[in-house]
Homo-oligomer: A and B are copies of this chain.
Amino acid sequence: MAGPKWLDSEEMKAWRLYITTSVDLMKALEDDVRPFGLTMGDYQLLAMISEAPDRRLRMCDLADQLRLSRSGLTRRMDGVLSNAWVARVQDQADRRVAYAELTTKGWNLLRKVAPIHLASVRRLMIDHLTRAEVKAIGSAFEKISNNLHP
């Protein structure tokens, strides 16, 4: 590695605040979707599907995008399936493949919750930041992400 072994105080400050605050932030966002019977995991699943063509996504791709293992996704699907927010659709061409498809009920729920969730993201994070900080976070995590995914 190029850099010295330790982090200087600016770096350490950024690292520590980032790590601890991220946990708190997630819990606060979780609190804000709970009244709708959703976890953040559920919300992200619904949001991810809603942006895909035909509001459906292969299980495999969905797992990748949600950073879940395939077994993790199978279990998470149990919840959204039993609530009928998502339907399971078997692919006719390749019968190994199943799609997760947003139902009308799921779509309606998401339309109701999304503005509230995004308002939470604003209230808890974005509204406290300068435009420069927003851009810096975007570019910083973009570089970190590019390095992580070769």
Contacts and interface: CB of A to CB of B under 8 A. Distances in A.
A91 interface: no
Contact of A18 (B67, B115, B135, B141): B141
Contact of A145 (B20, B27, B132, B136): B20
Contacts of A18: 137, 141
B145 A21 contact: yes
Contacts of A145: 17, 20-21, 24
Nearest to A7: B118
Give the dominant DSSP class at A's interface: helix
A24 B148 CA distance: 7
Contacts of A126: 3, 7, 11, 14-15
A23 interface: yes
A121 interface: yes
Interface of A: 1-3, 5-7, 10-11, 13-15, 17-18, 20-25, 27-28, 65, 67, 115, 118-119, 121-129, 131-145, 147-149
